[in-house]
C-alpha cells in the first residue's frame, strides 16, 4: 500500500520558497512547527535541500535524499538515497505520512501525491528568490486549520493546513453522541504540560486524519499548535504550577484559565471535551462539561492509582471513557467500580524506538557537546517544572560530584529557561568543582549514551528504562516535616515509579521526599556505575517491563475509539 504523503513548506505571497539554496527568512516559530510536524516520520528531500541542512541529517526522522546521481554519497550513516520520488516512497519505514520537505522540483513532483499541505504563508515578497512552490488549485484543496497571524523579526506570517478535498471521510462517528450527522465535530482538548502537548499533537493528527473537517481548540503548546494549525487558547507554559504554595500564589491566573475553558464549552458547544492528565485543573472542567451534557473523555489517565485516589469518584461521575497508557490501569479502575477504562498502548515505546534508530553515535554526541568520550556520562534529568528542578537538581549534582571519573550532563526541559539551571549550578557547582553541560532537545540521546541516569520520578523513568540505561529515581520536595508527612499520607500502593508499577516489583530504587538525600542517591549511583548485581538486576527488570507494553499507537487507537463505538 502506498504511504500517505504530506508536504511542508514556507511559501511567500508570490510563491517563492528559497534563494541561493537557503530559506527566505529565519523564523524560530516556523522551525519549531517544522520539527513538531516531521518528528518521527520519514522526510524526503532533494539533494540541494539535504546539503543545505546546517547540521546534516534531521535527528529523530528517517532521511531520504532523492537524486538522479547514481553514485551520490550523502556522507552520513543512516541517510538513504533514492533515484526517484516514487522509489523514495517505497523505501519509507517510519509511520505515515511521508513528509516531503523540498526543494522546488521535489514539491512539484510530490503535489499530485499529497493529501495534506502544512504551509507557512509569509506575507511578503522576495525579489531575489530563485526557487518556487508549485501552484495550488483552490478547487482541489480545503483549509482545515489556520492560525492567527504571527510576527517575528518584522515578518508577518501564518500557519495554514490544507487537505485534498477528495480525501474526505464520514466526519461524525456514533461514539460521540452530540453532533448531528454531517455536522463537523468540534473537539476541545486540554493539556497542561509538555508531555501532554506531545501526546495531544499525535491525537489531533489522528483525529483529523479520520475526520478531516473536525475543528479543534485546545490548551497546550507548540506541538499541538502545529498539528491543529492554530495557536492554543492558553499555552501550557502559563499553567505549569506545582505544589500547594505555587498554586495559591497563582490562583487568580488559574481561575482565569478555568473561566476561559468553561466559556469555550458554553459558547462553542464542543462535540467532546478531551482531557490529557493534569487532573487538578481538568477534573473541574470535566464537571462543568458533564453538567452541560457534553461527553468527556480522558486520554492518559491521571495517576490516581498512586496519588489522590478519591479522584476516581469524579472520574466515575463526569468522564465517559478513560484511555489508559499503562497496562495495569484498567484493572485498577475496575476494582474501583469504573468500567470505562481501556488500555490503548503506550506512546513511549514507539517514541523510544524511533529516537534510537535515528540518534547519533556516542562519539558523535560527545564531539557535538564537548564531552570526553572516554569518561562515563551521568545523565541528570531534574524534571520539567520549576519546583521539581529547584528541589532535585542540587542533590543530583552533589551526588554526581562524588564521581570525578565521570561527567555529569543536565537534560534541559523545553519550557524552562537555561538561566534557571545556570543559577542552580552557580550556587552548587563552584564549591564542587563541577563543569556541567546543559543539553536541550536531546534527552533520549543523552540517556541512551549515559552509564547511569538520575531521574526525577515521572514518565522519564519509563523512557529511561526503555532506553536501557540504569537509573535512580529521585523526588525530593524542600518543605517542612509536616509537609513531608502530609504528602506521604496521600500516596497509595507499593510503588511510585512507572517501571516498578508496570512490573509490580522494585526494579529501580525510589528515593522519595526526605529519603532523597545526597548520600542515598550516591549509594545507588555508585552500585549502578559498576558491572555488578545491581546493574544486572535492573537491566533484567527492564526486559520484563518492555514485555508488558504493546507497540500499538495509543493516539491511533484512542482516535478510533473516540469516533466510533468500538
Domain range summary for the chain, segments of one domain joined by +: 5-167, 186-346+551-563, 360-548
Encode 93-124 in three state secondary structure: CCCCCEEECCCHHHHHHHCCCCCEEEEEEECC
5-167 with 360-548: one CATH topology? Answer: no
Residue pLDDT, tens place only, 264-286: 999 999 999 999 988 989 999 99
Residue 378, H or E segment: strand 377-381
Q: Using an 8 Å Cβ cutoff, are 409 and 439 in contact?
A: yes
Residue pLDDT, tens place only, 241-256: 555 455 566 567 788 8
Alpha-carbon span 141 to 352, nearest angstrom: 35
List all residues 6 or more positions away from 438 whose beta carbon is below 8 Å from its beta carbon.
409, 410, 412, 418, 421, 422
In this predicted structure, what is the pLDDT of residue 19?
Answer: 83
Encode 435-481 in three state secondary structure: CCCEEECCHHHHHHCCCEEEEECCHHHHHHHHHCCCEEEEECCCCCH
Backbone angles phi, psi at 378, to 5 degrees: -105, 110
Q: Strands (DSSP E) along 40-199, which ranges?
A: 42-46, 62-66, 80-82, 98-100, 116-122, 131-132, 141-146, 150-152, 155-164, 186-191
| Residue 543 in this model has a pLDDT that exceeds 50 | yes
Q: Using an 8 Å Cβ cutoff, are 141 and 32 in contact?
A: no
| Residue 180 in this model has a pLDDT that exceeds 50 | no
Angle, alpha carbons 493-505-354 (nearest 5°): 105
DSSP 432: G
- Three-state secondary-structure class, residue 5: strand
pLDDT, average across residues 405-420: 90
Q: Which CATH architecture has domain 360-548?
A: 3-Layer(aba) Sandwich (3.40)
Cis peptide before 97 (omega within 30 of 0): yes
| Residue 371 in this model has a pLDDT that exceeds 50 | yes
Alpha-carbon span 206 to 563, nearest angstrom: 11
Backbone angles phi, psi at 171, to 5 degrees: -100, -10
Percent of the chain with pLDDT over 70: 89
Stretch among 330-334, 385-389, 538-542 having the lowest mean pLDDT: 385-389
Q: Using an 8 Å Cβ cutoff, are 225 and 145 in contact?
A: no
Residue pLDDT, tens place only, 78-116: 899 999 898 898 888 887 789 999 889 999 999 999 999
pLDDT, average across residues 310-318: 94
pLDDT, average across residues 437-451: 94
pLDDT, average across residues 430-449: 86
Q: How far is CA 28 from CA 105, 131, 157, 236, 262, in A?
A: 25, 21, 12, 19, 32
Strand partners, 215: 186
pLDDT, average across residues 514-536: 95
pLDDT, average across residues 36-44: 90
Number of neighbours of residue 52 by Cβ within 10 angstroms = 16
The length of the chain is 566
Q: Using an 8 Å Cβ cutoff, are 187 and 272 in contact?
A: yes
Instruction: Identify the residue whose cell numbers are 451534557.
Output: 293
Q: Using an 8 Å Cβ cutoff, are 346 and 325 in contact?
A: yes
| Residue 156 in this model has a pLDDT that exceeds 70 | yes
Stretch among 156-170, 224-238, 341-355, 382-396 having the lowest mean pLDDT: 156-170
Domain 186-346+551-563 top-level CATH class: alpha beta
Indicate the average pLDDT of the chain: 87
Q: Which residue has the higher pLDDT, 168 or 379?
A: 379
**Closest listed residue to residue 49, CA positions, set 104, 6, 119:** 104
Q: Using an 8 Å Cβ cutoff, are 188 and 265 in contact?
A: yes
In this predicted structure, what is the pLDDT of residue 433?
Answer: 66
Topology of the domain covering 5-167: Dihydrofolate Reductase, subunit A (3.40.430)
Q: Using an 8 Å Cβ cutoff, are 236 and 221 in contact?
A: yes
| Residue 171 in this model has a pLDDT that exceeds 70 | no
In this predicted structure, what is the pLDDT of residue 165?
Answer: 79
Residue 466 CA neighbour count, 13 Å, CB half: 25
DSSP notation for 46-58: EHHHHHH-TTSSP
Q: Which residue has the higher pLDDT, 256 or 532?
A: 532
Alpha-carbon span 194 to 293, nearest angstrom: 29
Encode 512-544 in three state secondary structure: EHHHCCHHHHHHHHHHHHCCCHHHHHHHHHHHH
Q: Where residue 181 falls among pLDDT bands split at 50, 70, 90? A: very low
Q: Where residue 179 falls among pLDDT bands split at 50, 70, 90? A: very low
pLDDT, average across residues 394-402: 95
- What's the burial of 70, exposed, middle or buried (CB within 10 Å: 0-12/13-18/19+)? exposed
| Residue 182 in this model has a pLDDT that exceeds 80 | no
Q: How far is the first Cα of the chain from the last one, in angstroms, to the nearest whole number? A: 25
pLDDT, average across residues 459-465: 93
Range of 5-14, 445-454, 479-488 with top mean pLDDT: 445-454
Q: Using an 8 Å Cβ cutoff, are 9 and 96 in contact?
A: no
Amino acid at each position: 500500500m502506498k504511504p500517505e504523503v504530506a508536504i511542508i513548506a514556507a511559501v511567500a505571497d508570490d510563491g517563492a520558497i528559497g534563494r541561493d539554496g537557503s530559506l527566505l527568512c529565519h523564523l524560530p516559530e516556523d522551525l519549531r512547527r517544522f520539527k513538531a510536524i516531521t518528528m518521527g516520520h520519514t522526510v524526503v528531500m532533494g539533494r540541494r535541500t539535504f546539503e543545505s541542512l546546517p547540521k546534516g541529517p534531521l535527528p529523530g526522522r528517517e532521511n531520504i535524499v532523492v537524486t538522479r546521481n547514481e553514485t551520490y554519497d550523502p556522507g552520513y550513516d543512516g541517510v538513504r538515497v533514492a533515484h526517484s520520488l516514487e522509489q523514495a516512497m517505497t523505501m519509507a519505514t517510519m509511520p505515515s505520512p511521508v513528509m516531503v520537505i523540498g526543494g522546488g522540483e521535489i514539491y512539484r513532483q510530490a503535489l499530485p501525491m499529497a493529501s495534506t499541505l502544512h504551509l507557512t504563508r509569509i506575507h511578503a515578497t522576495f525579489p531575489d528568490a530563485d526557487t518556487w512552490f508549485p501552484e495550488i488549485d483552490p478547487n482541489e484543496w480545503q483549509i482545515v486549520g489556520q492560525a492567527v497571524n504571527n510576527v517575528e523579526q518584522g515578518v508577518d506570517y501564518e500557519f495554514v493546513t490544507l487537505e485534498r478535498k477528495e480525501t474526505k471521510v464520514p466526519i461524525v462517528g456514533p461514539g460521540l453522541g452530540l453532533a448531528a450527522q454531517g455536522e463537523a465535530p468540534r473537539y476541545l482538548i486540554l493539556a497542561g504540560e509538555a508531555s501532554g502537548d506531545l501526546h495531544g499533537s499525535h491525537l489531533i493528527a489522528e483525529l483529523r486524519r479520520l475526520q478531516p473537517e473536525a475543528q479543534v481548540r485546545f490548551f497546550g503548546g507548540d506541538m499541538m499548535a502545529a498539528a491543529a494549525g492554530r495557536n492554543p487558547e492558553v499555552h501550557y507554559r502559563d499553567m505549569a504550577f506545582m505544589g500547594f504554595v505555587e498554586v495559591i500564589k497563582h490562583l487568580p491566573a488559574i481561575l482565569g484559565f478555568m473561566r476561559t475553558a468553561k466559556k469555550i464549552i458554553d459558547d462553542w458547544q464542543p462535540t467532546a471535551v478531551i482531557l490529557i492528565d493534569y487532573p487538578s485543573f481538568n477534573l473541574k472542567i470535566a464537571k462543568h462539561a458533564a453538567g452541560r451534557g457534553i461527553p468527556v473523555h480522558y486520554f492518559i489517565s491521571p495517576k490516581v492509582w498512586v496519588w489522590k485516589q478519591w479522584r476516581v469518584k469524579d472520574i466515575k461521575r463526569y468522564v465517559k471513557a478513560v484511555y489508559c497508557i499503562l497496562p495495569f490501569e484498567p484493572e485498577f479502575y475496575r476494582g474501583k467500580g469504573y468500567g470505562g477504562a481501556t488500555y490503548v498502548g503506550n506512546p513511549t515505546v514507539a517514541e523510544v524506538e524511533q529516537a534510537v534508530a535515528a540518534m547519533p553515535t556516542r562519539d558523535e554526541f560527545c564531539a557535538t557537546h564537548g564531552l570526553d568520550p572516554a569518561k562515563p556520562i551521568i545523565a541528570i534529568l531534574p524534571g520539567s517544572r520549576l519546583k521539581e528542578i529547584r528541589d532535585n537538581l542540587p542533590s543530583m549534582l552533589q551526588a554526581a560530584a562524588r564521581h570525578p571519573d565521570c561527567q555529569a550532563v543536565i537534560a534541559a526541559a523545553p519550557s524552562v529557561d537555561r538561566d534557571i539551571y545556570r543559577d542552580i549550578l552557580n550556587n552548587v557547582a563552584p564549591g564542587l568543582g563541577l563543569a556541567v553541560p546543559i543539553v536541550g532537545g536531546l534527552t533520549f540521546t543523552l540517556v541512551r549514551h549515559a552509564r547511569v541516569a538520575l531521574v526525577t520520578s515521572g514518565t522519564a523513568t519509563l523512557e529511561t528504562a526503555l532506553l536501557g540505561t540504569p537509573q535512580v529515581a529521585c523526588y525530593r520536595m524542600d518543605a517542612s516535616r509536616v509537609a513531608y508527612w502530609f504528602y506521604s499520607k496521600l500516596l497509595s500502593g507499593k510503588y511510585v515509579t512507572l517501571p516498578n508499577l508496570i512490573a509490580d516489583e522494585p526494579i529501580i530504587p525510589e528515593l522519595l521526599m526526605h529519603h532523597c538525600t545526597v548520600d542515598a542517591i550516591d549509594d545507588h549511583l555508585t552500585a549502578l556505575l559498576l558491572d555488578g548485581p545491581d546493574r544486572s538486576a535492573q537491566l533484567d527488570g527492564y526486559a520484563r517491563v518492555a514485555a508488558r507494553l504493546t507497540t500499538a499507537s495509543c493516539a491511533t487507537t484512542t482516535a478510533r475509539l473516540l469516533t466510533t463505538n468500538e
